Amino acid sequence: MAYSFPEEVLEHVFSFLHSDRDRNAVSLVCKSWYEIDRWSRRRVFIGNCYAISPRAVIRRFPEVRSIKIKGKPHFADFNLVPDGWGGYVFPWITAMASSYPWLEEIHLKRMVVTNACLELIAKSFKNFRVLVLSTCEGFSTDGLASIAANCRNLRELDLRDSEVDDLSGHWLSHFPDSYTSLVSLNISCLGSEVSFSALERLVSRCPNLRSLSLNRAVPIDRIACLLRQAPQLVELGTGAYNAELRPDVFSSLSGAFSCLKELRSLSGFWDAVPAYIPAVYSVCSGITSLNLSYTTMQNPDLTKLVSQCPNLQQLWVLDYIEDCGLEAVAASCKDLRELRVFPSDPYEEDEFDIALTERGLVSVSEGCTNLQSVLYFCRQMSNAALISIAQNRPNLTRFRLCIIEPRSPDYLTLQPLDAGFGAIVEHCKGLRRLSLSGLLTDRVFEYIGTHAKKLEMLSVAFAGESDLGLHLVLSGCESLRKLEIRDCPFGDKALLANAEKLETMRSLWMSSCSVSFGACKLLCRRMPRLNVEVIDETSEVAESRPESFTVQKLYIYRSVAGPRLDMPDYVLSMGEESPDLIG
């Protein structure tokens, strides 16, 4: 068009748009904007690897430099998705190997990554810089050796929480002596010992190293010499933090920490021995992120450490912190934005040992005015506490509460916790993520459907009384993208009544609910762009299942790629006319 800006100008303007949503909106304005965005899009986020084919992504965005792909459903984290389900990244890597020679970054979450994938990455992308494998599996340290040996421009290697076939620590030695560009290394999930001298040499020759997360096998007496080589570190994950107290080791460690003027994040501390904790005191005033969720350290040492960090924004800790520790946090850590409290003994029947109750969370909600994100495991909760929290912190955006015993009522009144969670959704108008627990009736879903208009992800377990609950959520939550449900009495009616809604969402997971086989087929017929996958691990053959058969697990997601072709035999796609489709 004669009056529009030249392409280069538009492209430049678009480069200031960082969110995918904004860029997607831009691409809908007109054909030329679509084309400009298409050719200039450098980052792509694929929330579900089966929603679209690699070819389709490459066709639309030919010049991508950074890709993030997610595979398995979230409940795979809790062993609800059987092995072999899928989430293979290989087809993506092979497609990109030929079409994205300049690819720099690959971020994967819950995907199966093989050594062959890693080798292909190492060979195909000359300017490869960032590899983040979050909760992935399927590869061994041999695959890491390929990456280390071949990726000359690698900046970041982050294996967070992945399950690696740990053959040996030798892979680290494959970084050539000429390699100096490491910025971030996270090997905390690995079990075996890496060669310490190789690690030390690597750290000393990489002047841009900002983030180093060691694994448990690195002993405490070795950390000091590593830290001296990298005083510019911003993030540090220690290895095992225990040993008999030796004054020389302590002073060396203490001295090394005091040189870390840029340090903002600390984690690791496996098996931490309180005697060595004061070695980190010198950095506490600058610390914004503290992950003590692997440490067995208890009060008073635990609370003492946390209270020394006035600038703390993110705290991950075990319930050893107790209510008194959280009160101290509320008093000292006024800038706290995210709190995660994990259970130290989740299967312990005897509940009376841990002094962490709802009171700790209430204290933090009172004292920390910037608190936005909460993940809290506890053993008792009350509506009163939840209402307090909601009123104190209307700025909450993520609220995940796990009361360990399923269907626990308000421990004071023995009532369901509907009113408490209702207060949360009513007051916290910006709430994007919510996980429910405790005794809940359909009423809580009425509150959620009515108030949680910005809610994007909802996790429900052992809750509700009838289909109405599910219906209220699906019909009321306008922004809902991901819904995961287990062990709730939700069934066909709600699902079929809200079929169209499902195509506006990324995915729906339902396990141990009351959805019938027949309803799944019906849903699939009505909504051709939904993949309806039934997971059934019983040995019965598909044909013999009656329509009324209650499915074990159900995963529904929108897709423009049609039913996937890599399903194992226990996953049935409802996408064909005949139900007897296997694999």
- Positions touching another protein (CB under 8 A) are 75, 77-80, 135, 161, 163, 189, 270-271, 293-294, 296, 342-347, 349, 377, 402, 404-407, 435, 459, 461, 465, 486-487, 489, 491, 511-514, 548-553
- Nearest distance, CB of residue 459 and another protein, angstroms: 8
Burial string for 224-263 (b: 16+ CB within 10 Å, else e) reads bebbbbbeebbbbbbbbbbeeeeeebbebbbebbebbeeb
How far CA 250 is from CA of 143, 282, 299, 356, in Å, comes to: 37, 13, 21, 32
Dist. CA 583–CA 579, nearest whole Å? 12
Give the residue with the Cβ less far from another protein, 262 or 405. 405
- Nearest distance, CB of residue 100 and another protein, angstroms: 31
Question: DSSP 3-state assignment of 255?
Answer: helix
- Nearest distance, CB of residue 224 and another protein, angstroms: 23
- Nearest distance, CB of residue 293 and another protein, angstroms: 7
Q: What is the DSSP letter of 513?
A: S
Give the residue with the Cβ less far from another protein, 363 or 511. 511
- Nearest distance, CB of residue 78 and another protein, angstroms: 4
Dist. CA 17–CA 203, nearest whole Å? 35
- Nearest distance, CB of residue 373 and another protein, angstroms: 16
Give the residue with the Cβ less far from another protein, 83 or 177. 83
- Nearest distance, CB of residue 17 and another protein, angstroms: 34
Question: DSSP 3-state assignment of 367?
Answer: helix
How far CA 471 is from CA of 438, 467, 474, 480, in Å, comes to: 20, 6, 5, 13
Dist. CA 373–CA 562, nearest whole Å? 36
Give the residue with the Cβ less far from another protein, 402 or 474. 402
- Nearest distance, CB of residue 404 and another protein, angstroms: 5
For 302-432, list the strands marked E by DSSP: 314-318, 338-342, 373-378, 398-403
Phi-psi region at 464: left, alpha or beta (left = phi > 0; alpha = psi -120 to 50)? left
Give the residue with the Cβ less far from another protein, 161 or 446. 161
Strand partners, 514: 491
Give the residue with the Cβ less far from another protein, 142 or 271. 271
What tokens appear for 320 in the block?
Answer: 């050893």
Give the residue with the Cβ less far from another protein, 206 or 339. 339
Strand partners, 194: 169
Give the residue with the Cβ less far from another protein, 322 or 426. 322
